[in-house]
Amino acid sequence: MDAMGHQFLTIASVAGRICVGLVFLLAAAQKMHHWRVLSGVIGNYRLLPRWAVAPASALLPPLEMTIAILLLGGLAMRWTGVASIILLALFATAMAINLKRGRDQIDCGCGQSFLKQSLRWTLVARNAVLAALLLPPLVVTGPVTLDIAMAGASAGLAFFLLYLLFNTLAALPRPDLRGHRFA
């Protein structure tokens, strides 16, 4: 790989870590803040036995917080990247199973309680995109210069802001246009 390609991949690596790290940080903070309803949200997916819902709801926020700190700090990159991808895939799979079951009216539990979102295939795709952002950190190794770290951090923050924007837009109520005629 040429120097410019390696530089781009390194910036993408930092950007992916920062973006997904911030997503996990926000999700963990929201789940910790609204911990009383988390077991209901997890139980509503109807994928775990009842006895496993409480432990899962107790473990999920600290797990997300740990992953966020490791991603944002650039620590244990291969392990953290793989763990993050697996967690995002589990969330996407849980959503997809419920969508296949026709259970699209349950809250996704994505962490932003003020933006409750019903399950949709776009949320499954969103998790796939977040997981894809973590692929460059799996292959980039070696030291990162300050200028590349700053460019990657800026791009990661920009991706995170876009994530927040798209989540907000997706959570807005949609008008029911059935029966309306357009000229």
Expressed as residue numbers, the domain containing 77 is: 3-171
Owner of token pair 């799979």: 93
Task: Decide which of 1 and 62 is more confident.
Answer: 62
Query: What share of the chain has pLDDT > 90, as a percent?
Result: 60
Q: Report H helices in 3-100.
A: 3-33, 35-44, 50-73, 77-100
- Counting the structural domains of the chain, the total is 1
Position 178 in a domain: no
Place of tokens 């798209």: 166
Among 72, 60, 63, 62, which residue's Cα sits nearest to residue 21? 72
The tokens describing 4, both together, are: 């410019």
Of 50, 127, 51, 121, nearest to 86 by C-alpha is 127
CA angle 119–25–80, rounded 5-degree value: 95
**pLDDT confidence of residue 67:** 96
pLDDT digits (tens, 9 = 90+) for 26-46: 999 999 988 888 999 999 999
Within a domain: residue 179? no
DSSP state, 105?
S
